[in-house]
Amino acid sequence: MVEFNVSEEIKYATPFTMYMEYILLNYNNFLGNHLKKENITTREFLYLFNIFYNKNISQKELAELMYVSEANIAKIVKKLVEKGYVSRRKDDDNKSRNLLTLTKEGISIVLQLVKITIEWETKVSGNYDSFFYFLNIFFIFQKIYNFKEIWGINKKIIKFIC
């Protein structure tokens, strides 16, 4: 009869997404404490982050990038405009498109929260070589998203980090 070390078997049988979920829960808890001071939610921060790396993105493009409805984008963007973090203007070439950019306050809050996020990632990754850490994240992004769509964003992220 074969004996199993249940704790070892469970560890190796746990799907990668479960680990991602626990990492995300920990991160959201950590980030949430900082976001309360700025009066924004984790969802709003994600919108700000995407607008920061995709200047003059349309609401429709942001909806596609974030896999949410345009109505959801309009609702959150309205809140971010009211808070003074985002400006919205009509596209000169297509008046039905709203283009989004961050205000000075929006840029400031994103840079502040990105710095805090990198500090958290450094703590979480411990002594793990940062080059390989970010390289692994890059390859995960490649698998999740279409390489052509994410490449422009990753170039900006890599330049920002380096």
Query: Is 13's pLDDT higher than 70?
Result: no
Same domain, 86 and 110: yes
Euclidean distance between CA atoms 106 and 81, whole angstroms: 10
Average pLDDT rounded to a whole number, residues 144-162: 47
Kind plus residue range of the DSSP H or E element containing 6: helix 6-13
Res. 158: pLDDT tops 80 = no
Ordered strands of the 57-58 beta sheet: 57-58, 98-102, 86-90
Give domain status of residue 75, yes or no.
yes
Q: Residue 22: what residue type? A: Y
Asked if residue 96 and residue 26 are part of one domain, the reply reads yes
Which among 38, 81, 31 is positioned nearest to 59, based on CA atoms?
Answer: 81
The whole domain housing 140 covers 127-162
- Model confidence pLDDT, tens digit, residues 51-68: 999 989 999 999 988 889
pLDDT classification of 9: cutoffs 50, 70, 90: low
Residues 133, 88 share a domain: no
Q: Assess whether pLDDT exceeds 50 at residue 160.
A: no
Distance of alpha carbon 112 from alpha carbon 118, whole angstroms: 10
Please name the amino acid found at residue 126.
G
Which residue has better confidence, 98 or 3? 98
So what's the pLDDT on residue 125? 73
Which of the pair, 103 or 9, is modelled with greater confidence? 103
Shared domain check, 132 and 103:
no
- Residue 138's SS3 state is helix
Question: pLDDT for 101-137, tens place per residue?
Answer: 999 999 999 999 988 888 887 777 775 666 566 666 6
Q: How many domains does the chain have?
A: 2
One domain for residues 26 and 104: yes
Q: What is the dihedral of CA 29, 34, 37, 42, to 10 degrees?
A: -60
Read off the pLDDT band of 45 (50, 70, 90).
very high
21/70 same-domain check: yes
* Mean pLDDT, rounded, for 11-19: 67
Which residues fall within 8 angstroms of residue 154, CB to CB, at 6 or more apart?
A: 138, 141
Residue 30 lies in a domain: yes
Task: Share the mean pLDDT of the chain.
Answer: 78
**Do residue 145 and residue 96 come from a single domain?**
no
pLDDT on residue 91: 86
Would residue 8 count as lying in a domain?
A: no
Clarify whether residues 111 and 132 are in a common domain: no
